[in-house]
Amino acid sequence: MRVNSMVSGMAIVLAACGGEKKADDQSTTPEQPASAPAGAPAAGGATHDVNMVLEGTSYKYDPAELTIKAGDVVNFHNKSGGPHNVSFWADSIPSGAADPLKAAMADQMAPLEGPLLTEPDAVYKVSFAGAPRGEYKYYCLPHLALGMKAKLTVK
């Protein structure tokens, strides 16, 4: 009986320590940028870069305004002054945009809120495949009080 208990205990310990890395596990380090989750529509459009920076005493997205087409991808780069993220205001995006954005944003901290990028040069990708036309206002959660916000327009 004691041997059976030990074997059972070891099996539990090994199962808890082992395990596979999930296929949908996304990293936001420079070596492996985050991307749209598996099953998300592939973007056939252009790729745009938005830098998240601290310049002097100003936290900002560069550019602060960007116009793209539906199907384009935006790479948000943590350049300086991090941690940074991208969070969309649910009441400041077009009607019907929340579901495509949620599907395109990996590793969300909350709905429409990307993860904090803590590593220098980390990248967070957001695909606008299936996104309706209109304005998408967004902000950096840690730096909102310091004015870090921007606007993206899908044409």
User: Domain-by-domain residue ranges, the chain?
Assistant: 24-154
Segment 73-83 shows an average pLDDT of: 97
Segment 28-43 shows an average pLDDT of: 39
If you average pLDDT over every residue of the chain, what do you get?
80
Q: Please give the pLDDT value at position 40.
A: 40
- Residue 105, Cβ density class (10 Å: 0-12 exposed, 13-18 middle, ≥19 buried): buried
Please determine, for residue 7, whether its predicted confidence score (pLDDT) is greater than 70.
no
CATH classification number, 24-154, choose in 2.60.40.420, 3.40.50.800, 3.40.50.9100, 1.25.40.10: 2.60.40.420
In tens, the pLDDT along 82-101 reads: 999 999 999 999 999 999 99
Segment 13-27 shows an average pLDDT of: 37
63 vs 130, 134, 149, CA distance in Å?
23, 18, 10
Q: At which residue do the structure tokens 């840690």 appear? A: 142
Segment 3-26 shows an average pLDDT of: 38
Q: Are 131 and 154 in contact (CB under 8 A)?
A: yes
**What pLDDT band is residue 33 in, cutting at 50, 70 and 90?**
very low
Backbone angles phi, psi at 81, to 5 degrees: 75, 15
Query: CA-based angle 77:43:92, to the nearest 5?
Result: 65
